[in-house]
Amino acid sequence: MLLLPSQPGSPQLEIRRPPKITKEVKITPNLRPGKTRDKTRRSDLEQHRAGDVPPLPKLLADGLPQFHERCSGEVWLADASAEVREILPITGTLEPLLVDRTKAEASLVLPVPPVPSVPPVPPLPPAASATAASEAQSSAAPAPSEPEPSEPELSEPTKARRVGVVSVANAVAASGTHNVLLGLRDFFHRPALAGSKLIGIRNLAKVHEFDIDDRFNYFLNQARLQPQPAGSDLLPTIHIRWNNMLLKQVTDICDSLQLNGLVFLCGPSEVLTIARITEHLQKERPATTVATVLHSVSGWVTQPDWIQTTLGFDSACAVLSEVAGNLSLSRQALNRDIYHFVSCGSSTLTVEVAMQIRPTLCYVGEELLQREMTLEMILEEIVEVIVTRHHDYCLHAGVIMISDDFFPKLYQTRLLRREMHRLRCEKPAELCSEEVALRMLPEALAKYYALLPSDAQNALVFRTDGIDGLPTFPFMEAERVVAALVARRLALRGKEGKRTVTCFEQHPHSLRHIALSPMPTVLDCKLGYSLGHVAGALIEQQQTGYMANVRNIQKDTIDWQPCAIPLARLLKPSPDGPQLEPIAKRRQLNKQEDNAFKLFALVREKWRYAHSYRQPGPLQYWSPSGAYGYSWWTYTLRAELFGTKDLEHELIKESDESGCADLPDPSKEPQYAIESGTMRLVRRQMIMLSPLQKSRLGYRPNLPLVLQGPNRLAEEYRKGRVCPDEDLLRKCLPSLAGSGHHKEAKLEVMPDQELNVLQLLPEKPKRGMTRDDSLQGISSHSEGNLPAQDSPSSSGADAGKGSSSAKANPVSPKPQEPISPLLDKFDLRRFHQRIGLVLIGRSGPGVNNVLMGLFDYLQVWSGTVVCITMGLAGLVNGYSFELTEELLAPHRNQGGCDLLGQSQPEDIAKLGGELQSCASTCRRLKLDGLVVWGGRNVHSWTARLAEYFAEHKARTCVVGVPASVQSDLPLIEQTLGYDTVCKLYSSIVGNLAIKAASSGSIWCFVRIPGRSISHIAAEVALLTHPHVVLMSSDTGNEQLGLTDVTQMICNVIEIRSKEGNNNGVVLVPDQLLASVFEMKQLFREIYEIYTACPECFANLNTNGIIDMPVVQHLLPAPRYSRFKSMPERVRVQICRVVVEGEFCRGGNIDLGTVETEVIFKSMVEGELTRRVVMGKFRGPFQAITYSLPYQARAALPSNFDCDLGYTIGYTAGTFVTQERTGVLVDVTKLKEDVKHWEVFGTPISSLLTFHARACAPDLCQTASQQTAVHTGTELG
């Protein structure tokens, strides 16, 4: 059975809930022969969107539209060139067409009797025309009453049509093409065209067709998906090449199926081929009308005022901007500079994503060619910017974007190919290797040639391009190559005595694959559905040789104007010479011709030395766009529709008011000394937020009922301990045990008879309300939500889980006489508290909500939140500031931790022993409590800190936040951030799965965060249905080796190949290798070599090791062969984590930076090659890799995590008030509504296990024991 992937889609963070489906989408079993998408395997979002019918333009919904040639007042569209007209004599003379409103409305009153032989098929929408009409009535002014029209003249009934549809492209069809097919089907299901049939054609070589009817309703608004010949998901994409055989195949299909019309879904590269097919059919079969619907993920095709955007471009930009924006805020470190090198695909996508996220640098191929920049110039520019940011601007992280055509568009590449071609022609016998080529090339080109990867050097010597006859320049992952070269250049500057960055870490990210098959945006859904109707109208009116299109998309959907453009008008002569065929007109990325690039060039210099990153956030299908209007659209579309004047003013104003590019001012932005230099925390400005970020500011998290009114602590014996030995627990943590902090506590609603005056105060006043103000209005509490609070941008209703509508009921204040005795009886410990918050573990979604909850709690009691900056370094050195509403406002419900800064768990080994310094900082800041954010390894240290404070009678209570995105803390129901990262990873993996299935011949090896328990991998697998999921626990328990795991993967690939399915997804947890026995031995042996020969591991930061052969030969034979078979960059990564990681201190190794997926891909390729030789496997096999280590750390939190983080922060303040220390906030019953959540304080000691470590004798009270979390592995 073929298990097709599920696509959960992006997390929906809308302020309001999406509308409920009122009509059940009908799913008919046994749709057609072969395999299809199963309803039970579709995500909730997929099922919901299938019932959301897009509206239609009024000119398409009111009747059968009539086309006419463009009016004289319309914007001029360039005629086809002489070269194009020579190739296309018939279609080259066509004029653009527009829909005439009068004729479209008149067609409504023409009585068309139905065809009796074939009953009409009801369309997918409940009433498409009624929907559009109602939308028109709601947005347009009421028309004046008119006299009733006279009886119209009867016309001949419209004939039923037989229309075929074919999807042809060299790549995967863009998002929204399903809506084109269903829009086309619904057009021919109109009563005027009763009896028409839409026929899907899967193969041009042989007749393999099916009827597209109501059985395919559930494909509406879905991503593109088509597995290979065994079965297609609606319509497969066919790769075509123009020749006489193709023309004969198309003619035969039109004859055999008796087609009146043929619709092609194609990309820009197929326009000329479709035009030639049209010319051929006009001569051989004029009864067949040809229409075209163009789609393009890259958005290359454009015609001013005619083609304003292409189908699929908006969806690709949305998903790329989300992930790239998360990466820009993902990680900071105390001891190194971290830069992300990101590739988003084409130059047009790269420019748009850059406008959305504001990267440090951005390079697009076309501009490099225009400026004739060399690779050396670019590398020097990048290095200089990194060094200047480090030393002058105190910035230690950044994002550098690079387009896919970076290397092909370099001026040096063209010169190199021509020179290699000359050498091949003149000296073919001498040019026998890469080394010889390096000696024969001129000095300037030889330097460039030496910088290229080995596979590119080999291709330039031995392979020839079939198009232009020059040496082949293969596709390269430009982001990876440039990142490695930058690291080496920085190391070289250090050796030369120049100013440099000593510790540099580069992370390349290839995002190009996730943009090919995402869920379509609302714009692409409406655009695709409308284009389907326009194509149907062209077939109905026998207008052949046109591309369906709509204009005026800046207006409401009902005001869009259908139009048609001749295919010949989309073509131009090839710029490489008349000997080559015409190509589709493309956007020219320069300041003179492209508005979007003009904007980009205007403001990018302001990003170079700034920390102005913008987070567009996940794609929203029900976004509250009314408050922000066009600001939700892509900059490319806005510049095309409205020009650049207003956008220029907007972008310049953002940059000037934010002041992000100014030199650091210590009075405004404090600077902190860290291991790698001086770091500053750039204050986030409201003006820099994206529309979704601004929208999220208005979300008000919900609280459980127990926190909405008076409460008390009660002891609870609900859970056990990881370590059952009570004596050992008391021996290791005697102070906590002696003071009773080993017991679990539960927050309960306080009975009425125990209430006192202080507990009757409102728990959450409006922002800006002082404690003295709240004393004026003492009120009792009911079981309702908190009083409404004013938000910086409250633009929608609450959409969180379990929101309640009840409100607090105020009562008259009590007389003053009884208050004084009560104030004397009860202490004032709630007033003026100072609670600190420090981020010691890795960042994760929800950190700002914890800060919100703690801040709002202390606002009631005139308390203060003290932010400990730079994580553990700040706690040791006393870096801090007091939080205000002004500082917190731009961070409410946001992702990232740029407000506080953070340290990494590995910093505990360096600074974790400075407990006395931590205590001194808390005393100096007069902290009543300290809230520690972190995961497993962090909270083992938190237990030691709480024990130290208790032993030395410090007044500061220590409370932990369970912030492991892996949700692997024992005894904790679910940790903060897990919900968000699972949804985001599921969205990305779902897109990759759809892309693999759509190609029909690609396997995706996806590395996903996952330690010994692999909770994320398991959850993502349940949501996306991959074909192979490797679990770290299974591998370790069964003592499987790499060979065993490889055999398991290859067995699945072989079985699926025999069924005709050569695609799939393999999920690989990033810590899987740590559970493989032979890899553990390899790590141990590499560390032993390092201790004996440290000089062999020089220059680790330059992505190269001087004596790698020496390291390999010192390994035993079994590990030598295994290590040597790995890619070189993976070997370097393994050596780095062994030398720099926890392994040298006796801990578990962190393999998060090792490309585990690349190891398994190479091993699977080798094993399948062996099976091919043995005759067991025939193939084909093609694989791509993708890693997900950082994409979710700074993601916008889901509504669930917003509520959970806010509850945890609020509870932490309550525990400090109750003087509980050494506890971890534990929220349970999470599957229920928020108001029914229960809140506990679980002792951190309950999560600990104890084992001897001779290397750390002084970490606890005994000389031979150290506390560590259950498995001893850090995840936070």
The two beta strands, 337-343 and 504-510, are: parallel
Mean pLDDT of 414-438: 91
Would you state the pLDDT for residue 400?
Answer: 96
Is the pLDDT score of 1263 beyond 50?
no
pLDDT one-digit tens code per residue, 298-337: 988 888 888 999 999 999 999 999 999 999 988 778 888 9
Mean pLDDT, the chain, rounded, equals 80
Instruction: Provide the pLDDT confidence category of residue 101 given band limits of 50, 70 and 90.
Output: low
Would you state the pLDDT for residue 781?
Answer: 31
**What is the three-class DSSP state of 677?**
strand
The tokens of 1166 are what?
């080798």
pLDDT one-digit tens code per residue, 928-945: 999 999 988 889 899 999
Could you give the CA distance from residue 290 to residue 538 in angstroms, rounded to a whole number? 8
Mean pLDDT of 671-685: 83
- At residue 286, φ and ψ (nearest 5 deg) are -65, -15
Range from 32-46, 67-81, 499-513, 775-789 carrying the lowest mean pLDDT: 775-789
Would you state the pLDDT for residue 574?
Answer: 84
Would you state the pLDDT for residue 1099?
Answer: 63
pLDDT one-digit tens code per residue, 870-895: 999 999 999 999 999 999 999 999 99
Mean pLDDT of 145-161: 50
Would you state the pLDDT for residue 794?
Answer: 35
Is the pLDDT score of 361 beyond 80?
yes
Instruction: Provide the pLDDT confidence category of residue 1120 given band limits of 50, 70 and 90.
Output: confident
- In DSSP notation, 880-896 reads EEE--HHHHGGGTT---
Could you give the CA distance from residue 1051 to residue 1045 in angstroms, rounded to a whole number? 10
Could you give the CA distance from residue 200 to residue 212 in angstroms, rounded to a whole number? 6
The two beta strands, 1064-1069 and 1003-1008, are: parallel
By CB neighbour count within 10 A (0-12 exposed, 13-18 middle, 19+ buried), where does 1006 fall? buried
Would you state the pLDDT for residue 535?
Answer: 95
Mean pLDDT of 786-807: 35
Is the pLDDT score of 1028 beyond 60?
yes
Instruction: Provide the pLDDT confidence category of residue 999 given band limits of 50, 70 and 90.
Output: confident
Amino acid identity at 341: F
Would you state the pLDDT for residue 829?
Answer: 59
Mean pLDDT of 533-549: 94
Would you state the pLDDT for residue 251?
Answer: 93
pLDDT one-digit tens code per residue, 287-299: 999 999 999 999 8
pLDDT one-digit tens code per residue, 1141-1177: 655 555 567 788 889 999 999 999 999 999 999 888 9
**What is the three-class DSSP state of 688?**
helix
Q: Residue 506: which of 520, 489, 494 has the closest Cα? A: 489
Is the pLDDT score of 153 beyond 50?
no
Q: Residue 265: which of 160, 172, 348 has the closest Cα? A: 172
The share of the chain scoring above pLDDT 90, in percent, equals 41
Would you state the pLDDT for residue 155?
Answer: 41
Instruction: Provide the pLDDT confidence category of residue 420 given band limits of 50, 70 and 90.
Output: very high
Mean pLDDT of 252-276: 93
- Winning range, highest mean pLDDT, from 99-103, 140-144, 826-830, 834-838: 834-838
pLDDT one-digit tens code per residue, 1232-1251: 999 999 999 999 988 888 76
Q: Tabulate helix, strand, coil % of the chain (nearest 5).
A: 40, 15, 45
Would you state the pLDDT for residue 71?
Answer: 58
How far CA 463 is from CA of 420, 424, 425, 460, 474, in Å, comes to 11, 11, 13, 6, 9
Is the pLDDT score of 637 beyond 70?
yes
pLDDT one-digit tens code per residue, 945-960: 999 999 999 999 999 9
User: Looking at per-residue confidence, does 450 or 1093 come out higher?
Assistant: 450
Would you state the pLDDT for residue 209?
Answer: 84
* Domains by residue range for the chain, with CATH: 56-108+127-134+157-312+520-572 (3.40.50.450), 697-831+847-864+922-977+1197-1269 (3.40.50.450), 985-1071+1152-1192 (3.40.50.460)
Would you state the pLDDT for residue 719?
Answer: 66
Query: Which parts of 1002-1107 fold into alpha helices (H)?
Result: 1015-1024, 1032-1037, 1042-1058, 1077-1092
